[in-house]
C-alpha cells in the first residue's frame, strides 16, 4: 500500500481539488461576441470536462424515471448525459470526494437547467444511500483510485435494487505493475498505480454478489503504463443479477 488508506484518499482528493482550480476551471472566450446568455451556456459546458476513460451512460441503457448514482462524478459529464436520459421524472446523483469539483458540477447542472440532479460529497467506500434504493450505478475511471475496491463493489451491490444494474468504465492492466509504480502517489492519482489486472477486477465484482458481469469494450489506454512494459486498458462492463446476502 502506498500510504495508509486515509492518507492515500487525502492525496487523491487534493490532486482532484487542484484540477478544479486548473484544467477544469478554464473557460475560453467565444470567437466573436456572443450575447451574454449564449456565452453563459458555452462557459458552463466548458467547465464540464471529462476525466473519464469510457462511456458508461451509453452501455447502461438508461430509462425514463430511473434513479442513477454516478460514483466519482467529477465535473459532471456523465451526470449531465444520464440526466437527459432519465428525464425530469428520474434523478441522477453525483457522488465525489472532491468538494471543489462537486461545486463546479453543481453550478454547471444548475445553469443547464438540469433540475433532476443532486450531489453528495462523500467517499465511494461509504455511500450515504440506503440499501436497495438505486436502479443504476455508473462510474467512469474512478474505482481504480480506491485503496479498497472490494468495499466499493460491496457498496454498489448494497445500494442497488435487486433488479438493479451497474455500468462501469475503468482502467485495468494485463499484468502486475512493479511495486515502485504501485507505491508512487502520482501514478496512483493518474489512474495507473491503483489499477488491477482485468481478471482480478472482474473477480472482485463477482465476489461482491453480481451473477452476471459482461465486458462491453476493452481498448488500449496506455501501451507502456507509467513507462513500464505493462499494458493498461480502458474497460467498460455491465454487471447485474444481484445475489442478496
Ligand atoms: C479520473 S476522475 C473521473 C471523474 C469523472 N468520472 C469523469 O469521467 O470526468 C476521478 C474522480 O474520482 C474522485 N474520487 C477519487 N477517489 C474517490 C473516492 N474514494 N470516493 C469518491 N470519489 C473519489 C475524484 O475526486 C475525481 O473526481
Asked if 46 contacts 28 with a C-beta cutoff of 8 angstroms, the reply is: yes
Confidence (pLDDT) at 26: 55
Atom number, ligand 1, closest to the C-alpha of residue 139: 6
Measured in Å, residue 73 CA sits from the centre of ligand 1 at: 6
User: Ligand 1 centre and the CA of 172: distance in Å?
Assistant: 16
Please report the pLDDT score of residue 4 as a whole number: 78
d(CA 63, CA 154): 24
**β-bridge pairing 160-173 and 232-242:** antiparallel
User: Can you give the pLDDT at residue 31?
Assistant: 35
Which triple of cell numbers denotes residue 83?
440526466
The C-alpha cell at 221 is 489506454
- Domains of the chain listed by start with CATH number: 5-242 (3.40.50.150)
pLDDT at 5: 85
Closest CA to 83 of 57, 46, 107, 52: 57
Q: Which numbered atom of ligand 1 lies nearest the CA of 78?
A: 8
Residue with the smallest CA separation from ligand 1 atom 14 is 72
Closest residue by CA, ligand 1 atom 20:
123
- Which residues form the pocket of ligand 1, taking CB atoms under 6 Å from any ligand atom? 9, 12-13, 16, 50-52, 72-74, 77-78, 96-98, 101, 123-125, 140-142, 145-146, 191
| Residue 244, pLDDT score | 74
* pLDDT for the residue 35: 46
Report mean pLDDT in 10-residue bins for the chain, 245 residues. 76 89 53 45 66 96 98 96 97 96 92 94 97 98 97 98 98 98 96 98 98 97 97 98 84
Q: Read off the C-alpha cell for 102.
A: 462537486
pTM of this structure:
0.92
| Residue 27 near residue 141 (C-beta atoms within 8 A) | no
Name every residue whose Cβ is closer than 8 Å to that of residue 116 and which is 6 or more positions away in sequence: 83, 86, 87, 88, 89, 90, 91, 92
**Minimal-distance CA residue to ligand 1 atom 4:** 74
Amino acid at each position: 500500500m502506498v500510504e495508509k488508506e486515509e492518507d492515500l484518499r487525502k492525496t487523491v482528493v487534493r490532486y482532484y481539488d487542484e484540477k478544479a482550480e486548473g484544467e477544469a476551471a478554464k473557460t475560453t472566450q467565444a470567437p466573436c461576441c456572443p450575447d451574454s446568455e449564449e456565452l453563459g451556456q458555452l462557459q458552463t459546458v466548458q467547465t464540464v470536462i471529462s476525466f473519464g476513460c469510457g462511456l458508461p451512460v451509453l452501455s447502461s441503457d438508461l430509462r425514463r424515471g430511473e434513479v442513477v448514482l454516478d460514483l466519482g462524478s467529477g465535473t459532471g459529464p456523465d451526470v449531465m448525459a444520464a440526466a437527459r436520459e432519465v428525464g425530469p421524472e428520474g434523478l441522477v446523483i453525483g457522488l465525489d470526494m472532491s468538494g471543489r469539483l462537486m461545486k463546479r458540477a453543481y453550478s454547471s447542472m444548475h445553469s443547464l437547467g438540469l433540475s433532476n440532479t443532486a450531489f453528495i460529497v462523500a467517499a465511494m467506500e461509504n455511500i450515504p444511500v440506503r440499501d436497495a434504493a438505486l436502479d443504476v450505478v455508473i462510474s467512469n475511471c474512478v474505482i481504480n483510485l480506491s485503496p479498497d475496491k472490494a468495499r466499493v463493489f460491496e457498496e454498489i451491490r448494497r445500494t442497488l435494487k435487486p433488479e438493479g444494474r451497474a455500468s462501469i468504465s475503468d482502467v485495468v492492466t494485463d499484468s502486475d505493475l512493479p511495486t515502485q509504480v504501485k507505491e508512487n502517489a502520482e501514478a496512483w492519482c493518474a489512474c495507473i498505480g491503483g489499477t488491477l489486472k482485468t481478471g482480478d477486477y472482474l473477480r472482485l465484482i463477482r465476489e461482491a454478489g453480481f451473477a452476471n458481469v459482461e465486458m462491453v469494450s476493452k481498448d488500449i489506454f496506455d501501451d507502456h503504463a507509467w513507462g513500464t512494459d505493462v499494458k493498461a486498458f480502458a474497460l467498460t462492463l455491465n454487471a447485474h443479477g444481484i445475489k442478496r446476502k
